[in-house]
Amino acid sequence: MGAREISLSPTANAIASYSRQADLKAVDSILQAANAQAVTGFAGMPKSLVETKVQDLSAAGRSALADLARYVLPVSSLLELASVARYRVHPRGTSTLIRRTSGHVLFLIDGCALEETTDSQTVRLWRSGAVFGEQPIVHGFSPGSSRTNETRYLNFLSESRCLLIPRDKLRTLALSDPMTMLMISRIGMDRTNVIERLYTVTRKAPVSRVATLLDYLAGETTVMRPKTVENEEKQLVVKPMRNAIVEGPTQNDISEALTLGRATVERALGELRREGALLRFRKGERTNRVYEIADRDLLQQIARGG
């Protein structure tokens, strides 16, 4: 709904254009995988031959190689997945349906999405790196879970770049390649860990739960910036601060995801700004859907309950 299919996202141009530099980056990704998985059929293959294999891929396939390199897979599996992968960009405000019978597994490469399950009426926020639609592959081998039958909607809260891989291809690889099956299992474990850490009802204070969610959504976007602060001797010193920006969810989205009242979330955000974990916005600055982290270390301390 509203998505546009692309062969190459603008955000991936530096990695997967038709240029020679992009080819070399894709080759480097696949060679790293070969070094990590010496048991694959491509281990020990001359770099020139690997480069030829990569050049046979489309530009989207090369981009997929770079995006899938985080998963330690045999090179043969990486090449097979990259050859059938395609990208879609979903503008903010659009949505897509994820269900058991859909034909693709969706990897959220860039962006922020809100997952809504209609059966159990749960709402969860996800950052880049989240994967959707892989559960039927696992439960296809171990039937008995009814949760995979739930209808899930993904609402994209910012422009999001997604990688789509046919589920049948993943299932076939998982049956023949233990590392692919392990990757799928780890995706499920990571998802469970995030749900338990963020969305399971806890005794933490609301401000700690909001801080934990913002820290998760910020991902790896930390930027070091200097900031003038007072030390214990009341002297002004320059201290490096870890900053990041979370963009996409509204306060209402956070409220629904954490099952907290809207006023409770608003008070928690106000407290995080007073403590200095979040930046205070100047008059006239955009505040809706944007949360700029002023001090990542402090935010994580508050998330731990400190």
* C-alpha pair distances (Å), 167 with each of 35, 79, 105, 275: 27, 16, 6, 46
Query: Rounded to whole angstroms, how far apart are CA atoms 262 and 266?
Result: 6
pLDDT > 60? residue 45: no
Which helix (H) or strand (E) segment is 165 a member of? strand 160-166
Global confidence as pTM: 0.77
pLDDT > 70? residue 22: no
What tens digit of pLDDT does each residue of 126-162 get? 999 999 988 777 665 444 444 555 678 999 999 999 9
Query: Rounded to whole angstroms, how far apart are CA atoms 263 and 87?
Result: 38
DSSP-derived pairing of the beta strands 95-98 and 86-90: unpaired
Q: In percent, how much of the chain has pLDDT > 70?
A: 68
- Domains along the sequence of the chain with CATH: 4-198 (2.60.120.10), 206-303 (2.60.120.10)
Query: Rounded to whole angstroms, how far apart are CA atoms 174 and 178?
Result: 6
Q: For residue 132, what are the β-bridge partners?
A: 106
Which of these, 132, 65, 139, lies nearest to 103 by C-alpha position?
132
pLDDT at 88: 93
The mean pLDDT of the chain is 78
Banded pLDDT at 254 (limits 50, 70, 90) = very high
pLDDT at 39: 36
Pick the range with the lowest mean pLDDT from 67-81, 149-163, 203-217. 67-81
* C-alpha pair distances (Å), 160 with each of 14, 78, 214, 223, 286: 17, 23, 18, 21, 20
Residues 6 or more apart whose Cβ sits within 8 Å of residue 74: 33, 37, 39, 40, 41, 42, 177, 179, 180
Across the range 62-71, mean pLDDT stands at 83
